[in-house]
Amino acid sequence: MTLAQSFYRPQSAYALLERGAQNPHERSSRAVLESLARIEEVDAEVRAMTAVATHEAALANASAAQGPLAGLPVVVKDILDTHDFVTSYGSPIYADHRPKSDAAIVTLLKRNGAVLVGKTVTSEFAYMAPTVTRNPCDPGRTAGGSSSGSAAAVAAGIAPFAIGSQTGGSTIRPASFCGVAGFKPTLGMLPTAGMKCFSWSFDTVGLFAAGVRDVAYLAQVLSGRPLALDRNAEPPVFGVPETYPWTEPSANASHVLDTAIRAIERAGGRVRPLRFDSWMAELIAAHDTIQSYEAWQTLGFEYDCHRAQLSPVLFAFLARASNVDAAAYANACASMARAKARLAELFDGVTALLTPSAPDEAPDGLASTGDPAFNRNWTLLGSPCVNVPGLRGARGAPIGVQVIGRPLDDARCLAAAGFVEHAIIASAGITVSQRAAV
């Protein structure tokens, strides 16, 4: 299937808000109906959804919606509890499971007027097992993982907003593969209560939208913090690593990063080279140790009582995880604490860091969700990260660039990401509404 035949059609939340400025209730009903119609049109191919609201329930919720997200359709990763939808966490162990309450982030969405139109596919317990979801940009490729359905739903125009999660690279990587904006906020900025826990040290709620401006608006509403973009901010200075201790980017990813750098400099931003010290390399093993030790406990019931229903990928991981002892865990946590104490060194004289979001375009086929190597360390460090869409690799599929900020400095990170996105768009001579055609 060629890109011209793809299902890529992200929609801007701001466009929906502006369309219904005079009549919000009419806007709400229309937006919800369009979302449900889009699911019927494309999801048999994209396979992003695990559950879909009825027209009656969605319209009733839209008519009663109030707040800054009033009537805007949203989809939620099936790792988060919902009392009005089955929540299976991507596992047959929890088929037909119906929680008695919503996750905290779902309650926040509803309190602010969003209309939940369905649940999205997740890798099993948000780990690495491949899913059935296809990439809307090229259905012959993976949408990534573990938030595959959430990224694909936004890319396919099913909803303007989606909720995901990230423990390694589960928001930034699928956003990169699917050509949408993804935001992993500072660890703990958004509540994880009601999310099926994998690793309590790393699990983070992630957000998806068509562009950075949209995802910043959603983050502001849900967090109550001033995160919406300010076009009058000073041009940022980006630190760009000279080499990477985890894996080198492909020629594709390097070319995309170079293209973004040229666009940034044309727009008045600056770029400085950055060298990682040895402690950044040590975090690769620390992440694996901490995640393994914690997952062995959080998924203990599933392993002990239902191991035959686990995928081979997760079963093998948990079997290895059982060998991580408390001493190794303590040492890894100490390495993490030392690295967090030194993190400010990376931001000396720079606004944010800039790297590829993934090593390459999305892999062909559905056998792999891709490599989270460019994301794990920043998840461990609790840094806010944004995937900036708008660029493509040599084979025509998206590759994003990742903007990384200091922990608790989410506003500056989002502003820097907005600058990059605007620079890319200006460099290509297109508007945000035209980007889907590029």
Q: For residue 299, what are the CA distances in angstroms to 126, 384, 404?
A: 12, 27, 30
Single out the catalytic residue among 35, 88, 91, 170: 170
Single out the catalytic residue among 28, 88, 91, 146: 146
Q: CA–CA separation, 304 vs 298, rounded Å? A: 11
Contact (Cβ atoms closer than 8 angstroms) between residue 387 and residue 176: yes
Instruction: Determine the 3-state secondary structure of 181 from DSSP.
Output: strand
Contact (Cβ atoms closer than 8 angstroms) between residue 249 and residue 356: yes
Instruction: Determine the 3-state secondary structure of 116 from DSSP.
Output: strand
Q: CA–CA separation, 281 vs 286, rounded Å? A: 9
Single out the catalytic residue among 35, 77, 119, 357: 77
Sequence-ordered list of residues with C-beta below 8 angstroms from that of 340, at least 6 positions apart, any chain: 381, 382, 407
146 has catalytic annotation: yes
307: left (phi over 0), alpha (psi -120 to 50) or beta: alpha
Sequence-ordered list of residues with C-beta below 8 angstroms from that of 152, at least 6 positions apart, any chain: 46, 47, 48, 120, 121, 133, 134, 135, 136, 143, 174, 178
Q: Which helix or strand (DSSP H or E) is residue 15 part of? A: helix 13-19
223 has catalytic annotation: no
311 has catalytic annotation: no
Residue closest to 63 by CA, chosen among 113, 5, 4: 113
Strand partners, 206: 164
Which tokens in the block code for residue 242? 């000279």
Residue closest to 187 by CA, chosen among 333, 336, 342, 385: 385
Q: Which helix or strand (DSSP H or E) is residue 155 part of? A: helix 148-155
Active site residues: 77, 146, 170
